[in-house]
Amino acid sequence: MTITITDEIFVAYSQCPRKAYLLMYSEERGQLHEYQQILEQNQLANQYRHLDVLKHKLNVCPYSVENLKKGCDLLINARLIADELQADCDVLTKVNEQAYEPTIFIGTHSVNDTDKLRLMFIGHVLAKVQASPPATGHIIAIDNKPSKV
């Protein structure tokens, strides 16, 4: 059985190896605690609000390998897969002909180390997909204040 390392497992491992193990092998995986559900709802509301504004200004496409090669300005809801790694990225922003930078949304007002670690993992998987590492990434908090990492 092949195990895929996701950004959620990677971040969990940095907090506690047992937590990562349970996320990978427990029968309860995928069930969120109430606090995590609230953060996810806030994150989705933040993402929809931000993307609604961008859809009127830029060429926004859903993520696919074809759209990645075609070169849309923004790719949304990207599931990046390389080797045995998988990362979900909210938005990929085109910076030049062959490079994209990741953007994630969070459900809190401040960026913490866990958010930065998640973005770093997404950047690592993106580097494998596009064959060049992104120069920066962005985290957008619930108050629409972007942080460049």
Average pLDDT of span 97-124 = 91
CATH of domain 33-148: 3.40.1350
Residues 15-27: pLDDT tens digits?
A: 889 988 888 887 7
Residues 63-75: pLDDT tens digits?
A: 888 887 777 888 8
Question: Where do the H-state alpha helices sit in 72-112?
Answer: none
Which pLDDT score is estimated for 127? Answer: 92
Residues 121-149: pLDDT tens digits?
A: 999 999 998 888 998 999 998 887 788 88
Which pLDDT score is estimated for 119? Answer: 94
In the predicted model, is pLDDT for residue 78 greater than 80?
yes
Can you tell me the distance from the alpha carbon of 29 to that of 135, in angstroms, rounded to the nearest whole number? 33
Which pLDDT score is estimated for 1? Answer: 58
Main-chain phi, psi angles of 108, to 5 degrees: -125, 175
- Mean of pLDDT over the chain: 86
Which pLDDT score is estimated for 118? Answer: 94
pLDDT over 70 percentage in the chain? 96
Can you tell me the distance from the alpha carbon of 1 to that of 67, in angstroms, rounded to the nearest whole number? 31
Average pLDDT of span 79-84 = 90
Please, which pLDDT band fits residue 56 given cuts at 50, 70 and 90? confident
Decide if 100 contacts 130 (C-beta within 8 A): yes
Please, which pLDDT band fits residue 89 given cuts at 50, 70 and 90? very high
Which pLDDT score is estimated for 123? Answer: 94
Query: Which amino acid makes up residue 148?
Result: K
In the predicted model, is pLDDT for residue 101 greater than 90?
yes
